[in-house]
Structure 1
Amino acid sequence: MATWKIDTAHSEIEFKVKHLMITNVTGHFATYDATVTAGNDDFSDAKISFEADVNSISTKNAQRDEHLKSPDFFDAANHPKITFTSTGVEKKDADTFVLNGDLTIRGVTKPVALNVEYSGITIDPYGQTKAGFELTGKINRKDFGLSWSATTEAGGLVVSDDVRLIAAVQIIKQA
């Protein structure tokens, strides 16, 4: 069984949500950690644990970021971490998987399925073994208690309920 740690210098954890139902706002977490354990070279038996620091959220707008940290959304003071723990991996083909797991946001845990594209393994110039993945998925923010809502004068939603999750992840095999 090999243990891998996320390479935060070469990974991105992002989300996208529709604003006014016409454009996407992209946000990311700057502080996070993940550990992967796997016995199989193709990661088909991987066990993954992940956590992100809610206070590291950034949407490139300080006022919006503070609102996201407030009780209207993530309630960072009471729920400072978002966590994911895998419950299983379904191999679709050599490079495509579905990663199932429990996502906890704001103290609410729900099962989620993430699509995973495996980019392969390589040795970097420093002799470290690294593997790469692209993960995508979608959640309904209201399922996790992020229920703040507002409507425009015309009756349209300010923020959609659906949130797309996107992660470009590089992991490093531990000695």
Structure 2
Amino acid sequence: MATTWKLDPTHSEVAFKVKHLVITTVTGYFRSFDGTVVTEDESDFTTGKVNFTIDTSSIDTNQAQRDEHLKSADFFNAAQYPQISFTSTAIEEKSDSEFILRGDLTVGDTTKPVTFDVEFGGTVTDPYGNFKAGFEVSGKISRKEFGLTWSAVTEAGAVVVSDDVKIQASVQFVKQ
């Protein structure tokens, strides 16, 4: 029987990391996001269909001026494209607790296939009777492939923002 799992945003986070000036890493978060997983059976996540959305204006790098720049047309253009979306196309089991999640990621007006590594943390019933499942998701994308091409170069020739963006999410879903 099909089972729907709804994201628990209170116990989840979505983060990204990008190199700045090639010498340090800046970490940012998206504070508003939503997702569902629909499985054919509550104990078999390889049958899952994942849909996930992120509110681009919820970006938070702990620096307001940088956040405003990231929301601008130079990057996410949050006014025109208020959401980033992901829809799964396949889930492959590597082991009992490791999966490969494939799907289509849409940033702005660009949709590309992406792959994420997923570690299944398990399932548990919380103190309030809610049945939950936890996952750690990680991967890397090229920001330029998604039209995020703003760049600058220092006088010494160093790139201000790297192309590679590491994505990390710790997500908890509640069985509906």
TM-score by length of 2: 0.98
Q: Does 1:44 align with 2:46?
A: yes
Secondary structure of the 1:135 match is: strand
1:21 — aligned with what?
22
Between the aligned partners of 1:113 and 1:55, the Cα distance in structure 2 is 24
- The count of corresponding residues between Structure 1 and Structure 2 is 174
Between the aligned partners of 2:128 and 2:4, the Cα distance in structure 1 is 18
Between the aligned partners of 1:32 and 1:166, the Cα distance in structure 2 is 14
Q: Does 1:140 align with 2:136?
A: no
Between the aligned partners of 2:73 and 2:111, the Cα distance in structure 1 is 17
Between the aligned partners of 1:156 and 1:29, the Cα distance in structure 2 is 27
Q: Does 1:72 align with 2:38?
A: no
Between the aligned partners of 1:117 and 1:62, the Cα distance in structure 2 is 32
Deviation of residue 21 (structure 1)?
Answer: 0.7
Secondary structure of the 2:101 match is: strand
Secondary structure of the 2:45 match is: coil
Task: Output aligned runs, 1:3-152, within 5 Å.
Answer: 3-40=4-41, 41-152=43-154
1:163 — aligned with what?
165
Give the counterpart of 2:155 among 153, 156, 165. Answer: 153
Secondary structure of the 1:147 match is: coil
Between the aligned partners of 1:29 and 1:4, the Cα distance in structure 2 is 21
Write the deviation string for residues 14-70 of structure 1: whole angstroms up to 9, x where unpaired: 100000111111111111100110123130111000000001110000000000000
Between the aligned partners of 1:48 and 1:63, the Cα distance in structure 2 is 33
- Identical positions, percent: 57
Deviation of residue 91 (structure 1)?
Answer: 0.5
Structure 1: tracts of 5 or more residues without a match? none
Write the deviation string for residues 72-121 of structure 1: whole angstroms up to 9, x where unpaired: 00011111100000000011110000000000001100000000000000
TM-score by length of 1: 0.98
Secondary structure of the 1:9 match is: helix
Between the aligned partners of 2:34 and 2:20, the Cα distance in structure 1 is 28
Structure 2: tracts of 5 or more residues without a match? none
Between the aligned partners of 1:156 and 1:109, the Cα distance in structure 2 is 29
Between the aligned partners of 2:24 and 2:173, the Cα distance in structure 1 is 32
Between the aligned partners of 1:25 and 1:104, the Cα distance in structure 2 is 22
